[in-house]
Amino acid sequence: MSSAIPLNVGIVRSAGVDADAPKRVLLAEPRGYCAGVDRAVVTVEKALEKHGAPIYVRKEIVHNRHVVETLRDRGVIFVDETDEVPEGALVVFSAHGVSPAVHESAAERNLHTIDATCPLVTKVHQEAKRFARDDFDILLIGHEGHEEVEGTAGEAPDHVQLVDGPDAVDAITVRDENKVIWLSQTTLSVDETMETVHRLRAKFPNLQDPPSDDICYATSNRQTAVKAMAPACDLVIVVGSRNSSNSVRLVEVALTAGAGAAHLVDYAREVDPAWFDGVRTIGLTSGASVPEILVEGVLEMLAQHGFGDVQPVTTANETLVFSLPRELRSARS
């Protein structure tokens, strides 16, 4: 049996451990695949159906071990750079986006390309180009080395400075304090990003905001759901891969919001039963690149340890769907 628990209603963790309290799982909704990830994964699947294996994909199509391994088993070859793709072959660009230099490299090798960049990432790229044309200093809040950051910065390398968290603000300098704007990686912690923006604005009072939110709706929604249930949870389990920025952020958000403990796992087999000692309420969620089958595996494992009462915590309903890249639109069933 399951019953829905609305936001901030009826989910409270007692100060001490009540050995007689029923064991339960609070299941975050929304969780798992966002529209951009669904589009990217379906893009590769449809490309396989249309063109046959092998299909080349630059970087991981999305940051999830299970998805990548499943696609690799079907004939997808993941590469780091386009120069690893045979001339004239087909290559798919991942959901995280690529810089103009990557497009140019692919063209030089006569590669056929399908761009699976999430439309919300593309929006940030367009913002970077627009403000570079207007000669703004662009302060890009994000994590150094992340593919999305590299792609966005590559749109305007002479105008973009990376701001990797609040502590990086002190080192930032700009040419004209009246022409400064901040943009962000789409998968960041909302709270930490706002702290970074607060520090930037203290240093640059005329700092402009992006035309619309850069942190994607799915990242924000998943963090909101975790914040709603974390105070009631002795333990939060986040299903997701360690190279998934939004999944890692969910662990951080859970701990900050009051969870007794929080762990990130790719599969149910990685859950340590020792985590359950003294635990009566477990929160469960998954990152935006995680297929639901992995969450179901964790639920089955939890049920085997007495956590069979699953209570959804619903904070938003998501209905957004993105069209496939134009090369494959007729192929979507």
Q: How far is CA 294 from CA 66, 88, 266, 289, 307, in A?
A: 8, 36, 8, 11, 17
Tokens for 265, please give them. 């796992």
3-class DSSP state of 35? helix
Torsion of CA 290, 112, 78, 155, to 10 degrees: -70
Q: Are the CB atoms for 86 and 110 separated by under 8 Å? A: no
Give me the sheet containing 160-163, strands edge to edge: 160-163, 137-141, 180-184
Contact yes or no for 90/47 (Cβ under 8 A): yes
Among candidate residues 60, 147, 148, 150, the one labeled active-site is: 148
Burial of 10 per CB tally in 10 Å (0-12, 13-18, 19+): exposed
Q: Which of 48, 36, 82, 29 is nearest to 244 (CA)?
A: 36
In angstroms, the CA 276 to CA 234 distance is: 9
Which of 194, 197, 117, 109 has the alpha carbon at shortest distance from 152? 117
11 neighbors 228 (Cβ within 8 angstroms): yes
How far are the Cα atoms of 53, 88, 113, 275, 284 from residue 60, in angstroms, in the given order? 17, 21, 15, 31, 25
Quick check: is 148 catalytic? yes
Which residue matches tokens 């762990």? Answer: 263
Which residues are annotated as catalytic? 148
